[in-house]
Structure 1
Amino acid sequence: MARFRHGNVEIDFLDEGAGEPVVLIHGFASNKEINWVHPGWVTALTRAGYRVIALDDRGHGRSTKLYEPSDYDTALMAEDVRALLDHLVIAKADLIGYSMGARIAAFTALKYPNRVRSVTLGGLGIRLVDGVGLSPAIADALLAPSRDDVTDPTGRTFRVFAESTRSDLKALAACIRGSRQTLSREEAASIRVPVLVAVGTKDDVAGSGPELAKLIPGAAVLDIPDRDHMLAVGDKVFKQGVLDFLKKRP
């Protein structure tokens, strides 16, 4: 593991393998180990000949915890990705994001197209432009006195998950309140790097993958069969689809 400082934030990351660089950006309330290491992504990508860099988003894992929602604007989190590329002296990388991480990847590709070889938007469909999938009520669940005080089923799921990973609940609450930016349809249409939109067929958080792909010129669609938002991330169809996409992109 390694760390670097970007402004007032220290970002923890892993860097394994050799070859063309791929940056993995995890979802809300997760971290690089849960989202990418344990489900086998790092192993699959390094075996396929890629250099894999996975970061803990600000407020998550071993990275700096912040408590103001404004510190989690998606544009700021995209700057963390750009700063990581600068720190490692990487001119251009493939980005693979899941859920909130996919949103960060899309913002990065829009602002820094010269630094991005391709983007995989996992667990994020039309809600990149048409609202945000996760409810802001999750913040209330994270800040409740205990999980027993949470009645909302989705909020309780995230509270239990966050506690199981020993996450900073206050930092996560600030994150979900502050990272709810969307792209306009015109901005999505202006993304020019190769894009893969990969969403589970039972995902009720991401919104339609095909609808988003229609907005982005040349975007490919991958349906992850019979998987919801939580289970799609580790699916073998998702992994193989991404590997195929990386082989085909310029």
Structure 2
Amino acid sequence: MSESLFFEQQDGSRIAYKIYEPYKSDTTDEIPLVMIIGLWSTKEILMGLEKELAKDRKVIVLDNRGIGESTVASETDPCSIELMAQDIIALIKHLAITKFNLLGWSMGGQIALCVALNIPPTLKLEKLIVCASWVHVSNASFDNLYHLPKWDYPKSLQEQRKEITVLFEKNFIDYLLKKPETFDKLTEVLFNSRRPFEMFKRQWEAIKQSNFASKLHMIKVPTLIIHGEIDKLVSIQEGELLANEIPDAIFVRIPKVGHM
């Protein structure tokens, strides 16, 4: 099992990451894949996808600043999509990687787009994958949650399980009910993760303030856009917009799938 590693950014933020080395050496892709998770999520939310992809390539996952095992120097530190993208670039430089592939889900997709738009000449992004993400928020999907004065975290796994059935999309709950082992694992992941409510608020603010629509044509790397057709949090029209604006993009629609 991969252990968490850490590096410190110039502003004092401490970024936690894990590296999964390929274990099928006969088919190894020499270019590593960096995976970025979404809003109010930790790297454990990948639920084993990172290990599956690490069969034939190096996979790197991380906690965005201030959440999970990553920290910020001060609670008043700024938080923006651009700053989280800088953390990704700094991590890649820290690992002495020169070529990489990038996958971002939800807010992580926005961060990945920002990385692609600000890649320094010393690095080469080979391929970009953006899942269930958007350019600019056009709805208030998390505003009610954002305006709560505080968040009462579940005090037991049973309470956490109940919270999942309230917060997540119906089609995802239906899937979890058919996959009890997956439901149990997700419950444990969320219950044991450090997810400060203040960081959720600041991440949501960062998402709402970002807007790359006018710059998408500048992304020149081969890009795969993946989006569920019944995503209630990020409309599939957002995925279509990304695919239309990025010159070398392929758009994949997944029927009967939502945000998760």
Shorter-normalised TM-score: what interval? Answer: 0.7 to 0.9
Q: Which residue of 1 aligns with 2:41?
A: 30
Per the alignment, residue 5 of structure 2 pairs with 2
8 Å contact from structure 1 (residues 23, 53) kept in 2: yes
For 2:243, the equivalent position in structure 1 comes to 213
Aligned to 2:93: 86
Of the structure 1 ranges 207-216 and 51-60, higher mean CA displacement relative to structure 2 is found in 207-216
Mark the CA change 1:82 to 1:93 in structure 2 (over 3 Å): closer, same or farther.
same
Q: 1: distance between equivalents of 2:217 and 2:139? A: 18
- Give the alignment's TM-score, normalised by structure 2: 0.74
Shift of 1:185: 2.9
Post-superposition shift, 1:115? 3.1
Kindly report which structure 2 residues correspond to 1:58-137, keeping only aligned pairs within 5 A, or say none: 58-65=65-72, 67-68=75-76, 71-112=78-119, 114-124=123-133, 127-129=134-136, 131=138, 134-137=141-144
Determine the structure 2 residue equivalent to 1:144. 150
Match for 1:121: what amino acid? Answer: V
* Cα 1:131/1:32, change in 2 over 3 Å: same
Q: Is the 8 A contact 1:201 1:224 kept in 2?
A: yes
Q: What is the CA RMSD across the aligned residues, in angstroms? A: 2.7
Instruction: Give the C-alpha shift of residue 178 in structure 1.
Output: 3.1
The one of 182, 185, 189 equivalent to 2:213 is: 185
- The verdict on how the C-alpha distance between 1:52 and 1:191 changes in structure 2, with shifts beyond 3 A counting, is same
Q: Which moved more, 1:115-124 or 1:89-98?
A: 115-124
- 1:225 Cα deviation (Å)? 2.0
Query: Where does the alignment leave 5 or more consecutive residues of structure 2 unmatched?
Result: 23-29, 155-162, 169-186
C-alpha distance 6-132 of structure 1, shift in aligned 2 (>3 A) = farther
Give secondary structure in 2 for the equivalent of 1:53: strand
Out of 1-10 and 162-171, give the one that drifted further: 162-171
Aligned equivalents of 1:133, 1:98: Cα separation in 2? 19
